[in-house]
Chains A and B, each alone.
Chain A
Amino acid sequence: MLRLRFLWLILALVVVSALFLTLGAKGSWSFTLWFRGQKLASLLLIGGAVSTATILFQTITHNRILTPSIMGFDALFLLILTLMIFGMGAGGYAQVPKVTLFLINLVLLTLASVALFTLLLRDQRSDLMRMVLTGIILGVLFRSLVLFIQRLIDPSEFAVLQSASFARFNKADADLLLVSAVLVCLTWAAVWRMRHRLDVLALGEVLPVSLGADPRRGQLVVLMLISVLVSVSTALVGPVAFLGLLVSSLTYRVIPSWHHGHILPAAILIGGLTLVGGQLVLERVLHFETPLAVVVECLGGLVFLILILRKGST
């Protein structure tokens, strides 16, 4: 049954990608394919990165409502970015190659999030509501700090910053795309290698210790991997709050398995399918009347509310 569902997912992704590349193309094919191919690659990459990060986060926190972005991960990325622009000025910022900036931001985010979330996860592992609230408050804190710094900087810096702080699915930088693809693939390889350990880590706080999989170390490694994935997706398209939640809850529905060897590939496929399919419908059918980010966030937000209400009533 699982194999059949995987086949369907792969088939759907191939069809949607082919349509995305070819539908309504005018003019030179080589240009269209190159242009749209880049876009397709970035959508697949982001869909896969965000959904992997979400599944990983849900595994180490043992619940299926939290996502890295609800816990303020991408707000932290923006804060670091803002501080960097503030520190260097728009001129200085523009002179540093984008890829270098991205890598610096990545390292800083990894350090900051590991420090922050190991503290958070240590004390409040069992209290879900407190953890959600802490995360949301932290997210608001980071966003407010970003806003505060925006008041302090001059308009040209502000313009640089603003283009970096909104989700935008129709433009991605080619250099950045390449670096991101390499990073995401490396992360996926690392995640794949620890898939059995993830199965054990998902069993709770005590059983992993009894089975010899040190949860502290596991959580630390997973947090680092999440930081890389979140950095990539935020750097490429800006923050997307609920995409991960939408994809992860779809995945658990479609693939009812506890094997991360099944869940993770499915989540990557569904993540790509959601973004590419959504973009296809918006661009070709609805002719760009609503940005994809709005639609995804709206659906994902609904899923979040439904999950919270359902958890509350049981």
Chain B
Amino acid sequence: MIRIRNVSHQIAGQTILQGVDLDIQQGGLTALVGPNGAGKSTLLSLVARLQTLQSGQIEINGQDLQQISHGDLAQMLAILPQVLTSTHRISVQDLVGFGRYPYSLGRLGPKDREIIAEVLQSFELQEIKHRFLDTLSGGQRQRAYTAMAWAQDTEYLLLDEPLNNLDIAASRSLMSRLKSLAAQQGRTIVIVLHDINYAAGYADHIVAMKAGCVVTAGPPQEVVSEAFLRSVFDTDARVIVANDRPLVIV
């Protein structure tokens, strides 16, 4: 479990987060939603220690985040940032191999190779494993990076808006793949999403943030409603129910 207690954060005098309290339960897909500038990415980067915690406390499986060494943390938690650019020509297989760095420190053993092959298989990257990243489409590249983070074999995986720049087919296949893999292997995925319908359609839990605070949290069926959209996103939209899941008419 990730326990976030009373976390506040300021950047250049501006308050980004104020007194966030949140428990992220083990297992399943948790979606972080909220309007632009609500502090979702900042919260994620604090949990992954990309930024220094200014005040409050974060615990992972009962351990204080600040006390965990870089190497140990990399075996517990992986993060994939929003903007992914690479300056070199790396093949998909090599990129996925980087996911094993926390264990292999660059010297891939037989077990690492086995996991890499497995991950390439489950993310359907077999066919393009020798292609270079800069020759791939946006969807394929996102899939390759996600596969790298998956190969890190961590209990927690944090993804910051992975659906950016993906079309509907790529978005749906990435979400359903993540959902089924998380369920199969009992991992915890925290994912920042812009599109509330993807959150409602795939997530097990939704955490909504607004202006640096957590407003509400719970399963999509309980959280997503017309009143919720009005209070969190300041928009009037109709919500219907389809396949047991709420659906926002846009």
Q: Choose one: B88, B101, B149; the contact of A200 (CB below 8 Å).
A: B101
Please measure, in the bound complex, the distance between the C-alpha atom of A204 and the C-alpha atom of B88, giving whole angstroms: 11
Residues of B within 8 A of A258 (CB): 88-90, 94
Q: Choose one: B90, B94, B149; the contact of A210 (CB below 8 Å).
A: B149
Inter-subunit contact B73/A207 (CB<8 Å):
no
Identify 20 new A-B residue pairs, CB closer than 8 A, beyond the known A207-B81, A210-B149, A213-B101.
A63-B87, A195-B106, A196-B107, A199-B98, A199-B106, A200-B101, A203-B86, A203-B98, A204-B85, A204-B86, A206-B50, A209-B48, A209-B49, A209-B70, A210-B48, A210-B78, A210-B152, A211-B78, A213-B70, A214-B70
B147 at the interface (CB under 8 A from A): no
B193 at the interface (CB under 8 A from A): no
Residues of A within 8 A of B75 (CB): 212
Inter-subunit contact B101/A211 (CB<8 Å):
yes
With both chains docked as a complex, state the minimum distance between the C-beta of B81 and any C-beta of chain A, in angstroms: 4
Please measure, in the bound complex, the distance between the C-alpha atom of A133 and the C-alpha atom of B81, giving whole angstroms: 28
Residues of A within 8 A of B38 (CB): none
A256 at the interface (CB under 8 A from B): yes
The verdict on A212 contacting B70 (CB below 8 Å), with A196-B105, A199-B106 known, is yes
The verdict on A196 contacting B101 (CB below 8 Å), with A210-B79, A210-B80, A212-B71 known, is yes
B163 at the interface (CB under 8 A from A): no
Q: Choose one: A196, A202, A209; the contact of B87 (CB below 8 Å).
A: A202
Please measure, in the bound complex, the distance between the C-alpha atom of A7 and the C-alpha atom of B107, giving whole angstroms: 24
What per-residue 1/0 map shows which CB atoms of A203-229 lie under 8 Å from chain B? 110110111111000000000000000
Residues of A within 8 A of B78 (CB): 210-211
Count of B interface residues, CB-CB < 8 Å? 31
Please measure, in the bound complex, the distance between the C-alpha atom of A204 and the C-alpha atom of B94, giving whole angstroms: 16
What per-residue 1/0 map shows which CB atoms of B98-134 lie under 8 Å from chain A? 1101100111000000000000000000000000000
With both chains docked as a complex, state the minimum distance between the C-beta of B117 and any C-beta of chain A, in angstroms: 20
Please measure, in the bound complex, the distance between the C-alpha atom of A202 and the C-alpha atom of B101, giving whole angstroms: 13
Inter-subunit contact A200/B98 (CB<8 Å):
yes
B209 at the interface (CB under 8 A from A): no
Please measure, in the bound complex, the distance between the C-alpha atom of A62 and the C-alpha atom of B85, giving whole angstroms: 11
B157: nearest residue on chain A (CB-CB)?
Answer: A210
A143 at the interface (CB under 8 A from B): no
What per-residue 1/0 map shows which CB atoms of A173-215 lie under 8 Å from chain B? 0000000000000000000000111011011101101111110
Inter-subunit contact A209/B50 (CB<8 Å):
yes
The verdict on A211 contacting B85 (CB below 8 Å), with A196-B107, A200-B98 known, is no
Residues of B within 8 A of A207 (CB): 81, 98
Please measure, in the bound complex, the distance between the C-alpha atom of A199 and the C-alpha atom of B78, giving whole angstroms: 18
B190 at the interface (CB under 8 A from A): no
Please measure, in the bound complex, the distance between the C-alpha atom of A197 and the C-alpha atom of B102, giving whole angstroms: 10
A64 at the interface (CB under 8 A from B): yes
Residues of A within 8 A of B71 (CB): 212
List 17 A-B pairs, Cβ < 8 Å: A64-B87, A196-B106, A197-B106, A199-B98, A203-B98, A204-B84, A207-B81, A209-B49, A209-B50, A210-B152, A211-B101, A212-B70, A212-B71, A212-B74, A212-B101, A213-B70, A258-B88
Binding site for A on B (CB under 8 A): 48-50, 70-75, 77-81, 84-90, 94, 98-99, 101-102, 105-107, 149, 152
Residues of A within 8 A of B81 (CB): 206-207
Please measure, in the bound complex, the distance between the C-alpha atom of A214 and the C-alpha atom of B69, giving whole angstroms: 10
Residues of A within 8 A of B98 (CB): 199-200, 203, 207, 211
Residues of B within 8 A of A63 (CB): 87
A214: nearest residue on chain B (CB-CB)?
Answer: B70
List A41-83 residues whose CB lies under 8 Å from chain B: 62-64
Residues of B within 8 A of A213 (CB): 70, 101
A126: nearest residue on chain B (CB-CB)?
Answer: B83
List A211-268 residues whose CB lies under 8 Å from chain B: 211-214, 256, 258
Residues of B within 8 A of A202 (CB): 87-88
With both chains docked as a complex, state the minimum distance between the C-beta of B48 and any C-beta of chain A, in angstroms: 7
A256: nearest residue on chain B (CB-CB)?
Answer: B89
What per-residue 1/0 map shows which CB atoms of A284-309 lie under 8 Å from chain B? 00000000000000000000000000
A196: nearest residue on chain B (CB-CB)?
Answer: B106
Please measure, in the bound complex, the distance between the C-alpha atom of A210 and the C-alpha atom of B154, giving whole angstroms: 11
A202: nearest residue on chain B (CB-CB)?
Answer: B88
Residues of A within 8 A of B102 (CB): 211-212
Inter-subunit contact B74/A211 (CB<8 Å):
yes
Please measure, in the bound complex, the distance between the C-alpha atom of A228 and the C-alpha atom of B200, giving whole angstroms: 56
Please measure, in the bound complex, the distance between the C-alpha atom of A206 and the C-alpha atom of B148, giving whole angstroms: 14
Please measure, in the bound complex, the distance between the C-alpha atom of A127 and the C-alpha atom of B46, giving whole angstroms: 23
A197: nearest residue on chain B (CB-CB)?
Answer: B106
Residues of B within 8 A of A204 (CB): 84-86
